[in-house]
Amino acid sequence: MHNIVLIAIDTQRPDHLGCYGYDRPTSPRLDAFAAAGATFEALWSASNFTAPAFTSLFTGQYPNHHGVFNFQSRAESSPVSDCLKANGVRMGGAVAFRFFNRLLGKVWSEVEAVTDTRSFNYDKRLPAAVSDAGIEWLQAHGHEGPFALFLHFDGPHMPYRLPDEHAHRFGDVSAADVPADIVDMLFPQHLEVVEQGHARRGGGMFALTEAVDRGRRRLDDTTLQWMVDRYDDSVFYNDQQVGRVFDAIEDLNLADDTVVCVISDHGEELMGHGHLSHAGIHLYDDVIRTVGLVRGPGLPAGRRIARPTSHVQLWPWLLRLAGADHLPTTWQDLDLLNESLTSPVFCVGEFKAAVRCGDHKLIRRRIIPQHGLVKKLRLWAKMALLRELGDELFDMAADPAETMNLASERSLRDRMRRLLDEHLASPVAAIGLSTAADLDAAEKARIEKEMKDLGYM
How do residues 273-285 score in pLDDT, each as one tens digit?
989 989 888 999 9
Q: Look at residues 269, 300, 333 and tell me which one is the last residue of a structural domain.
A: 333
Is residue 166 assigned to a domain? yes
Rounded CA separation 407/11 (Å): 29
pLDDT attached to residue 189:
73
The confidence score (pLDDT) of residue 195 equals 47
List per-residue pLDDT tens for the chain, 457 residues long: 999 999 999 999 999 999 999 999 999 999 999 999 999 999 999 999 999 999 999 999 999 999 998 888 899 999 999 999 999 999 999 999 888 988 998 999 889 999 888 876 667 789 999 999 999 999 999 999 999 999 999 999 998 888 889 989 999 999 999 999 999 888 887 655 444 444 444 568 888 888 898 889 999 999 999 999 999 999 999 999 999 999 999 999 999 999 999 999 999 999 999 899 898 889 999 999 999 999 999 899 999 999 999 999 999 999 999 999 999 998 988 999 998 878 999 999 988 999 999 999 999 998 887 778 877 788 778 878 777 888 999 999 999 999 999 999 999 999 999 999 999 999 887 777 677 656 667 666 766 666 666 666 5
Q: Are residues 315 and 366 in the same domain?
A: no
pLDDT at 377: 83
Judgement on whether residues 256 and 364 belong to the same structural domain of the protein: no
- 147, 89 contact by CB (below 8 A): yes
In a domain, 342, yes or no: no
Both 75 and 142 in one domain: the answer is yes
Q: State the Cα–Cα distance between residues 129 and 119, nearest whole angstrom.
A: 6
Residues 366 and 416 in one domain: yes
CATH code for the domain of 356 = 3.30.1120
Range of the domain at 382: 351-426
The strand pairing partners of 357, in sequence order, are 360
pLDDT in the model for residue 172: 92
Residue 190, C-beta contacts closer than 8 angstroms, at least 6 positions apart: none
Q: What is the mean pLDDT of the chain?
A: 90
**What is the structure's pLDDT at 122?**
64
Please indicate, yes or no, if residue 146 is contained in any of the structural domains: yes
Q: Is residue 437 part of a domain?
A: no
Residue 241's SS3 state is helix
Confirm whether 84 is domain-assigned.
yes
Is 339 among the domain residues? no
Q: Give domain status of residue 431, yes or no.
A: no
Q: Among residues of the chain, what percentage have pLDDT more than 70?
A: 91
Residue-level pLDDT at 240: 97
Q: Are residues 379 and 300 in the same domain?
A: no
Q: Based on the number of CB atoms within 10 Å of its own CB, is 349 exposed (0-12), middle (13-18) or buried (19 or more)? A: buried
As to burial, measured by CB atoms within 10 angstroms (0-12 exposed, 13-18 middle, 19+ buried), residue 235 is: buried
Cβ–Cβ contacts within 10 Å for residue 411, how many?
7
pLDDT score for 284: 97
Q: Are residues 319 and 357 both part of a single domain?
A: no
- CATH number, domain at 11? 3.40.720.10
221 by Cβ neighbours in 10 Å (0-12 / 13-18 / 19+) ranks as: exposed
pLDDT value at residue 198: 45
For residue 281, is it within any domain? yes
Span 415-446, pLDDT tens digits: 999 999 999 999 887 777 677 656 667 666 76
| Residues 276 and 391 grouped into a single domain | no
Residue 328 to residue 425: CA distance in whole angstroms: 22
Check the CA dihedral 344-345-350-352 and report its sign: negative
Same domain assignment for residues 382 and 268:
no
Give tens-digit pLDDT for 151-191: 999 999 998 888 889 989 999 999 999 999 999 888 887 65
Asked if 2 contacts 322 with a C-beta cutoff of 8 angstroms, the reply is: yes
* Number of compact structural domains in the chain: 2
Burial (CB count <10 Å: 0-12, 13-18, 19+), residue 310: buried
Tell me the pLDDT tens digit for each residue of 101-127.
889 989 998 899 998 888 766 677 899
